[in-house]
Structure 1
């Protein structure tokens, strides 16, 4: 099997052209749908029996890829956006027995979901949809599997063998078992994080092909895209929450008695599932639960910030004082990090609105419109509208020119973990 070189990274695993998009500057490598044979067989069986499918799972497990594969194999279907209105759905010429596909069905308006449920019952249509397991889903969607109209299939994170299969299919050669274990541990088998970590590792050279095997030397730095993806998983953070995340990233586990001023931030992060609590004889300790978070935050942290926080941890007895001068214990020989996309202030260059600048910053960091939409909890169309207005104000016509245009307009970048607009000055 021929290995995938860094130069050929943007070509398909079969040697074909890269996945084309409307904007060529948004091209991303096409990842194979490997390691999901069991889920695909469940989908096939459900559709063959005349029922629909609702794919559930945590964010980034690959539900959308399975949905696309199911709809491709089904042939003719009607695709709905989660932002569709009740009037649009009622006017839609859906014939009896037709298949309806909808990604992020948990974002449907409750009335739209209820009408969709009635449509499936009355017209015997089949629905193939995805919902995120950690958010509320409308009753109409839940009733699909509760009433036996659809099979509920949970899409779990990859296990060790699935990670090895996916990496082998994407890279075109065998992958060292230590690399599979290391990348699996950092990403917790999350398909999206595994993809982003792999792409980042190939570009930075930490994932390299030697003696017929791909080997990984570990995460040594974090670019804007990788940091932004982790930031997307964390959600918006206040100044105190950001400080606490950075401290826990460096310490691994942190006793809350050492940071009494951040107890409220810890409670908020624990409520949102970002921090887990471990009871110990020495007090209440917290640790990060978001995969890859500690490694990316530590690797992207500015040197002086890392020194200050490590000194603070050492003074509180949470870190060995002998390591205070090291930037991060996980990456002592890291490269200087690239600037990460800061969240916007109230106004931006060339009279960009706060939202236009926010979207432009993330687009300049190489996030796709869909990823920005998920991060900001808006539709893809809204993201594109903000980008078009930003293009006009900046005097450009392509996404590829955003970074230079923002820099020329005097953008103030901030390295490290992006702060939310709620950050106190």
Structure 2
């Protein structure tokens, strides 16, 4: 397999971002769903700025989000314990450490804050103050601007930040990505199917490629790659990717996302009633589920293939609880086509009982839609 990277198709955004920082824009916000290529773009921008600016990375972490100055700990080794709660002391200690680490050159300083939505508010204040004072520039990534800590969001509101929104690949961009990764032409129908399954998300697209190669589903014939069949179940790559996403969520968000996967299209009232409106808003902002749709506010996973992986990850004890929550909803769910297939797929995976007529309806529908593996099950 070729050495394609997620940055394929992002050359324009890399150039634009680097140009903004060269032009002394105080901060650049790079926004987009998980896997859309934010980290790859940032890595390329750092390469573009080599020799012009010095960059220092700060990584947001859900586990440190409630710890004051938690992500700054590597820079605060010499700070006395009694001063650890003082913003001024932290600011001075952080800046002193950065100056020690910098090379002797007079190049600019760019703070790279990856997953900025997962840094604590006090750290965000320190960064915003440094940027506002002109001591440093910032390159910030987050799934959505609404998730940023208020001090960083204020930079945007005050006009001190520019914004780049990374969108999923179009079908043409996805085909170019596939050809770059695989090293040769891809059958258009196979490229279209992979694009549709990944919805243009570069990380998910790469994961599907690797999974299809590992299972022998994606094969090369006379210099052209094609999908020979459908995967029987999702492999370790996709399951691992989804597991990583789940670990970044709170317990309530994980349960809510799993329930959406089980019940989709899940009624907004079902999810909000079980976990609260704030949890739903958070999952939408993190771009894991689509905004409520239709008169009943139906909720769906942003990426359908995530649901297949989630089914493999739900522990038995939790699946029983989700089954109880979804029981009343399931009777209404099977009245819709996509709801019918989702409900039956879930039931088959968990060994839940459904009426034979429901299975027959689902098999006929799956066959009509070309979902042959599900129809045979």
- Change in Cα spacing, 1:100 to 1:285, as seen in structure 2 (3 Å) is closer
Point out where structure 2 has 5 or more consecutive residues left out of the alignment. Answer: 60-70, 74-89, 317-343
Note if contact 2:218-2:225 (Cα within 8 Å) is conserved in structure 1: yes
TM-score norm. by structure 1 comes to 0.58
Structure 1 gaps of 5+ residues are 5-11, 14-29, 337-425
1:220 is matched with which residue: 232, 239, 261?
A: 232
**Alignment partner for residue 110 of structure 1, among 111, 121, 126?**
121
Q: Which residue of 1 aligns with 2:72?
A: 84
Moved more, 214-223 or 158-167: 214-223
Once the 2 structures are TM-superposed, how far is the Cα of residue 40 of structure 1 from its aligned partner? 1.8
1:25-40 to 2 correspondences below 5 Å: 31=5, 33-40=7-14
CA distance in 2, matches of 1:101, 1:143: 17
**Aligned-partner SS, 1:320:** helix
- Assess if the C-alpha contact under 8 Å between 2:38 and 2:166 holds in 1: yes
Structure 1 contact 247–313 (Cα < 8 Å) conserved:
no
Structure 2 residue aligned with 1:55: 30
After TM superposition, give the deviation of residue 59 of structure 1 in Å: 1.5
**Is 1:68 the counterpart of 2:43 in the alignment?**
yes
Paired position in structure 2 for 1:289? 302
Q: 1:134 to 1:195 in 2, by over 3 A?
A: farther
Query: 1:365-404 maps to which residues of 2 (within 5 A)?
Result: none
Q: 1:279 to 1:112 in 2, by over 3 A?
A: closer
**1:201 CA drift (Å):** 1.2
1:162 aligns with 2:173: yes
The Cα shift of 1:45 comes to 2.8
- 1:332 match: 373
Give the structure 2 partner of residue 182 of structure 1.
193
**CA, structure 1 residues 233+291, in 2 after alignment: closer, same or farther (shift >3 Å)?**
farther
Provide the C-alpha distance between the structure 2 equivalents of 1:110 and 1:288, rounded to a whole number of angstroms: 29
Q: String of CA shifts for 1:145-183, please: whole Å, max 9, x gaps.
A: 333433211111111111111111111111122122211
SS at match of 2:133: helix
Alpha-carbon distance change, 141 to 213 in structure 1, aligned in 2, over 3 angstroms: same
Asked if the contact 1:57–1:156 (Cα under 8 Å) also holds between the matched residues in 2, the reply is yes
Q: Match for residue 130 of structure 2? A: 119
Q: Is the 8 A contact 2:36 2:202 kept in 1?
A: yes
- State the 1:74 CA deviation: 0.3
- Secondary structure of 1:81 counterpart: strand
Q: Is the 8 A contact 1:221 1:300 kept in 2?
A: no
Q: Secondary structure at the match of 1:145?
A: helix
Q: After superposition, where does 1:270-419 map in structure 2 within 5 Å?
A: 272-273=283-284, 274=289, 279=294, 287-297=300-310, 306-307=347-348, 312-314=353-355, 320-321=360-361, 323=363, 330=371, 332=373
Higher-helix-fraction structure = 2
- Provide the rounded CA distance (Å) in 1 between the counterparts of 2:162 and 2:362: 56
In the TM superposition, residue 287 of structure 1 has moved relative to its aligned partner by: 3.9
- What is the CA deviation profile of residues 238-261 of structure 1, one whole-angstrom value per residue up to 9, with x for unaligned ones? 89868745644xxx747899xx9x
Q: Distance in 2 between matches of 1:131 and 1:263?
A: 25
**Separation (CA, whole Å) in 1 of partners of 2:128 and 2:362:** 62
Q: CA deviation at 1:65?
A: 0.5
CA shift, 1:89, in A, is 2.2
Aligned pair count? 299
Instruction: Return the alpha-carbon distance in structure 1 between the equivalents of residues 274 and 222 of structure 2.
Output: 48
Please list, as runs of the form range in 1=range in 2, the aligned pairs for 1:120-139 lying within 5 A after superposition: 120-133=131-144, 136-139=147-150
Q: Is the 8 A contact 2:267 2:297 kept in 1?
A: yes
- State the secondary structure of the residue aligned to 2:231: coil
Q: Distance in 2 between matches of 1:78 and 1:165?
A: 31
Q: SS of 2:142's equivalent?
A: strand
RMSD: 4.2
Once the two structures are TM-superposed, the CA of residue 228 in structure 1 deviates from its matched residue by 2.9
